[in-house]
Every structure is written in structure tokens, then in C-alpha cells.
Structure 1
Amino acid sequence: MARARSDSPPLFDLPVRPDFHMEAGLMREGHMPVAGLDEAGRGPLAGPVVAAAVILDKDRVPEGLDDSKRLTAEAREVLFRAIVETAVSVSVASLSASSIDGSDILRASLEAMRRAVAGLCTEPRFALADGRDIPPGLPCPARAVVKGDQRSQSIAAASIVAKVTRDRMMARAAFVAPHHGFEAHMGYATKRHRLAISEHGPVLRLHRMSFAPLRESLPD
């Protein structure tokens, strides 16, 4: 059986920065407005998974949009403000560590994306979702775009909004659990974080007990 053609282009074909090419093509086909979807926080041991949906104004696209992982924290904050000030609509949704434990991280991420789209004040006619999966239950057609935050400015904008929002949430969590250093590692499995878990234990409703190594600490 022939292998399905990947939506992801060869690495050397990726643009240096994401552009508005996919969105413009969809708009020419009558799919307007177009929303970009992305999430932050699939991998950490603690904290929520946060998704964002962004509909950019095609005439006011902020300069410098990129995959949030390729930007400094300072650049993300500047672009976050620019996105919120210029976009047609921005929406954010999150699912808690407890919700992730009750399901799994992929389902939780996709559900957060669905909720983010539902929260937009302008209903999109099409959605571009980062990754290989389309969130179920969207109110419009959608396309999964591998490395979408490096290819689509709408997805890149969503990645920035999701990342900045989640980082701010984790910084607030540091006030609840100051010994765990959430403001520094944002819940990821750094050496400092793993040591804090060993010394102080997991934090109720903040740590994902279904993730290794936390699940190994659960009583039989």
C-alpha cells in the first residue's frame, strides 16, 4: 500500500520564518477568516496544557512572528502584546494537570484547542492546527500542519500566545509552591525540578501524576 504523503515539506524547504501563504490560499478559496491553533505544555511534569486560537488581521500581521521556541522570553512578550492589539480575535483555553491525568496529554491538548476555537469572538471558516492531529469537534473544516508554527504566521501567533500564557500561569504557581522553582523551569523535567520533587514531593493538582517518574511514586 502506498504511503500517505506527508504534509510536512523537506527540512530545506521550510521558510526561514513563517509566512501567510497558507492563509492567503484559503482566503482565495472563500475560507475567511482563518484561525491558527497551537498549544504549549505537552511535555512538562507539572502545570496545565494551554492552547490558543488566533485570527490575524491580514493587513496588520505583527512583524517577527515565529515558532515560540525560537524566540526569547522578551521577544515573546513583545509579540504577545502586538498580537492581542492587532488580531481580529484571540482565545485561550487550558486543561489542568488533573484533567490530563484523567485522560492523556494528546486528548487534553486537542480538547484545549477545541475550547480555544469555541472561545473566539469571530467564528473561523477554516482552522490550521499545529501538528499531525485535527482537534475533534471544531465548528469548521481544519488542516493539521506539521511544523506549522514554523510555516504559518497564524499558528506561530497561537504558539506565542499559548506559551506566554502558560509561562505566566507557572510563574504564579511558584507562589503556591516556592520550593519547586516553577518560575524557572515552567514544570519541565529539569534537574532542579526533579530534585525538588524528591525533596518536597509533588504538589496536589499541579503535578501530573500519570507522568513518569511521578506515577512510580504512587502507592500500589
Structure 2
Amino acid sequence: ALIHWKSGLQKAVMWQEHVLARQSNKMGAFEASMRMPAASARLSRADYLSRRSEAPMHNSDRQRTAYHQGWLQKKAIGRSRSTLIRTWRARYFVLLDRELRWYESAEVDKATGNSHIKGHQKGKLPITAETAIEHDAQLSSRSCSFTITSKGTSLHLQAKDVAQRNAWIAALGSRTGGRRPVNADAEAAIGGREPAISLTTLDMETSEHIEEGDAEDGSSAEEDD
């Protein structure tokens, strides 16, 4: 009888240890599952911020077609204490349906051709049927320069070559509702043909920091950065 009692006691102890081990395993799994969402959330947020900072312009649910884009030199106008300052700065321009935007920097993926906005939006100019596109006589030494005037604001730009300038003028002309540029140089750039339209798109959530020094009269109190 004593032997049977000891055997039963050993079995009871072993069963209790088995039950406790299972409960411990379940509790460990439960705690791990409770911790995993927080870790995932941190990873997801970091992933999101990383992708947001270098998001391809076509990778968004809220997008608009960019009809033309590329690097141009933009003339910035500002004032120092005694003189009017004019400098040229490289900006990445994107032409939307009714708006021209420019950014501090961008990078093009050579494998896919997609553009990644790297810097903040520096400014924008509305493109309407009244927008004028012309070669700036005051900048004649820069043969690849042109001026866009819209709603009282003039934007002085320079392309790297005549072909690039003509492509921009043609694309801008197509967005003004068919209105011709105001001079022969710009009109020759269009030549009565519709330009090819790029299907690259723009993420509309890009933050905006409007650039100083866009007005033709140099009324900005700060030098363009």
C-alpha cells in the first residue's frame, strides 16, 4: 500500500509540474504576442518615415500627373542693405496640369527612371490661360533662358541647352489652354505640335516651404535660399 501511495504521489507531482510548464509556456507566448504589435508599430512607423522622405513621385494614392519635370536654374531676387541681389540657383521643377512647382532637390533612379523628391517644396506658380511665356531680353547673354509670367509674378529660368528650354516652353504652352507664347523665340519652340506627355506622377503630400524672391520687382525682403 505504501508503494502504491508513493507512486500515486509521484504521478500527481509530475502532472502538476506538467500543468505548470504548459501554463508558463502559454503565458510566455501571450506576453510575446502582446509585445510584438508595439515592435511592429515602431518598425512600421520608421519604415513609413523612411519611405516618405524618399517616396517615388508615382507611389501614392493621391497623385496628379506631372506633364514635364527636370532641373532648371532659377533667378532669385532679394535685397541686401544697399544693393539688389540676383543669383541663380538650381531647382527641380515639376509641371502639373495648372501649376508649376519647384523643389530644393531630387534624385532620379537610373534603373526605373522614377524621380524621388529629396528636399522641401520651395515654391509654386499657377499656370492659366493668361500665363505668358517669353524669352527675356534682359537675359540675352543666357541664350537658354526664358520667363514665365502668371498673376503678376515673373519667374526667370534657364535651361542647360536650347533643346531643354524648347521642351519646357512646349510643355508649358500645352498647359495654357493652347495659348501661344508672346514672342517668336518661344513660339518657334512649340511649332504647332503637342509635346509628348510623361506619365510620371507626383506625391501631393510633399511639405511646402514657399521660396522668397519670386517677384519680378525684387520686393522680397529676404535673399532666396
- TM-score, length basis structure 1: 0.23
- TM-score, length basis structure 2: 0.23
Q: Which has the higher contact order (CA 8 A, sep 6+)?
A: 1
The structure richer in strand per residue is: 2
The structure with more radius of gyration: 2
